Amino acid sequence: MTTAEAPAELDGVTAPPREAVARRSGSAATSILVLPGVLWLVAFFLVPLAIMAVVSVGSVDPAGHITLANPGLGNYTHALDPEFIPALLRSIWYATATTILSLGIGYPVAYWISRYGGRHKVLLLILVMLPFWTSYLIRTYAWVMILRDNGVLNSLLLDSGLIDEPIPILNTDVSVILGMTYGFLPYAILPLFVSIDRLDFSMVQAARDLYASGRGAFLHVTLPLTMPGIIAAGLLTFIPALGDFVTPSVLGGAQTTTIAKLVQTIFTAGRDWPYGSALGFLLMGVTIVGTLIALRSLRREVIGASA
Amino acid sequence: MSGKASRWLTAFTIATYLFLFAPIVVLIVFSFNDSRRSFTWQGFTLQWYEKLLANTDMLNALKVTMEVAAIAVVGATILGSLLGLGLARLRFRGSGAVQTLLLLPIMTPEIIMGISLLVFFSQLFGLNGSVGQIALAHITFCISYVAITVRARAASLDPRLEEAARDLGASAVGAFRHVTLPLLAPAIAAGAMLAFALSFDDLVVTSFNTGVGSTTLPVQIYSGIRFGVTPQINAISSIIVAVVSIALLIAWRLGAFRTAARAVIADPEGA
């Protein structure tokens, strides 16, 4: 991103020389500055995860209390039960469809902003990001009003005479995937924009001069050169979509249960917490690994571009 | 290749922007619609906002939300700013581990953070949800955002400015107070605004740590939605969209997005 690359001179401050930073190493002030925040994150982030890990190998006794009398990995193997696999497959299907749609919609938009946005590029990107920061729940809820049987969309279609009966859209796979695509599209557009904006378009011009068709130049030059951005955008969409429970709950029904929704039900309905914890860790494992890959590919792209 | 976009591409881009903003517009428009059930326009009214002002559940939820946000903003801003400043200034053994510790809460699905805190509070302390419990949870997920925003700004400050102050006889505290802190202030304020927006808006983590008498607005709205759509929810949602947008606008003016974008995209080694 051109704007982001501009170093910190924006406010009349320049980046410090590296030696100046290194020289301060080992100062006693380090611990005073960093310690409270680190201790907080250890106490209220890592310790709760550790407790959850302990609980996940436990079980529930007849009185309903969590017990560690017979610790084991039973909850994790129990996760292969019929309840879990369909929810996992459904989560993956929703996340995959959302990712493909987000890339398909996001790529042309990112391309347009980069190539034709001119001096409004930053504003156009901020417009993409704004709805993303304004309440995920409320934006999802807005789709309920649009998609329900007597909602905005069906009213419009009925009034225009295109349909005679309202089309049921809410509480289906379609509404969940639509809601997720709406929610996670900005995650896709930003990294796509970064990689397209870095592309040297004289390469595309060269391909055209060598008699490549517009389509050929796009497929053999533009697309491969922006592939790191596509991968990053895909993972940054896929990961949160996989762990989302707001969309399947608000726009979905009983038959749109995802892993996250399953975990939520297990906990709020006061059922088997050890089992729920195990499911949570399985979800978290997939998510963390995916995010690390996304960050790594994003970094490689940046380093490759600046080299 | 010509410098003009194809008409299809331009139309597609405009359609996508409409797609992004249309639901929010629909939400706001129908909060003024003079009809309880219908989703066609029946005339302008403010009755849903009036009913909202008389809805004690919603007003209590608003009060709880503001209490939680106040604690979360103060806590996360202090802890996150110190952490961001420390990471920008000093390279120390284990700073890599601290960077990872900072990124983990952002990478972890919200639902996992929610259930782990639920298990933590109920199993270790026998707590069943309260304003304090929610605020502790919010501080935890806000710290990273504040720290990343402040670190990006602190890393761009020239340490020679503070050294110059020291050379001119300022004490270490005085140099920090009169040179570094004013330069960091916009980033700290931006981080606080982000923390406010995140806390005010959180549903997932809160819903696992809420208890009797500590229902926040998003939790109240979520349960309202499950019982059916009412124009009052549109009204409160429109207000929230306005409040969060203003907070984000201030954060943007203060440079939060610029520094955050730089931290993540342009300075991968730092992030």
Is residue B3 a part of any domain in this protein?
no
Is residue B36 a part of any domain in this protein?
no
8-state DSSP, B216: -
B151: chain A residues, CB-CB within 8 Å: none
Is residue B2 a part of any domain in this protein?
no
Is residue B198 a part of any domain in this protein?
yes
Cβ-based neighbour number of residue A187 at 10 Å: 26
B244: chain A residues, CB-CB within 8 Å: 133-135
A293 to chain B: nearest residue by CA? B107
Is residue B22 a part of any domain in this protein?
no
**pLDDT higher than 80, residue A2:** no
Is A85 within 8 Å of chain B by CB? no
Domain A73-306, CATH class in plain words:
mainly alpha
Poorest-confidence range of A130-139, A175-184, A203-212? A130-139
pLDDT tens for chain B, residues 1 to 271:
445 668 889 999 999 999 998 888 888 888 898 877 666 778 888 888 998 888 888 889 999 999 999 999 999 999 999 999 888 877 667 778 888 898 888 878 889 999 999 999 998 888 888 899 999 999 999 999 899 888 888 888 887 888 888 888 888 888 888 888 888 888 898 889 889 888 988 899 999 999 888 899 999 988 888 776 678 888 888 888 887 778 777 777 776 655 554 444 444 333 3
Smallest Cβ distance to B143: which of A37, A146, A280? A37
Smallest Cβ distance to A155: which of B40, B78, B159? B40
CATH number at residue B208: 1.10.3720.10
Report how far apart the first and last C-alpha atoms of chain B are (Å, whole number): 37
Structural domains in chain B (count): 1
Q: Amino acid identity, residue B79?
A: L
**Distance to chain A for B270, nearest Cα, Å:** 11
**pLDDT higher than 80, residue A294:** no
Q: Where are the beta strands (DSSP E) in B104-194?
A: none
Could you tell me the CA-to-CA distances from B111 to A138, A255, B34, B186 in Å, in that order? 18, 20, 37, 32
Is residue B1 a part of any domain in this protein?
no
Total CB pairs under 8 A between chain A and B: 287
Is residue B18 a part of any domain in this protein?
no
Is residue B39 a part of any domain in this protein?
no
Residue A200 — pLDDT band, cuts 50, 70, 90? confident
**Distance to chain A for B51, nearest Cα, Å:** 19
Q: What is the pTM of this model?
A: 0.80
Higher pLDDT, A5 or B112: B112
Q: What is the pLDDT of residues A216-273, one digit of tens each?
A: 888 888 888 888 788 878 887 888 888 888 898 889 877 778 888 888 888 888 778 8
Is A73 within 8 Å of chain B by CB? no
A137: chain B residues, CB-CB within 8 Å: 201, 203, 218, 221-222
Q: Amino acid identity, residue A248?
A: P
CA distance B65 to B60: 9
Of all residues in chain A, the percent with pLDDT exceeding 70 is 84
B113: chain A residues, CB-CB within 8 Å: 45, 48
A55: chain B residues, CB-CB within 8 Å: 119, 123
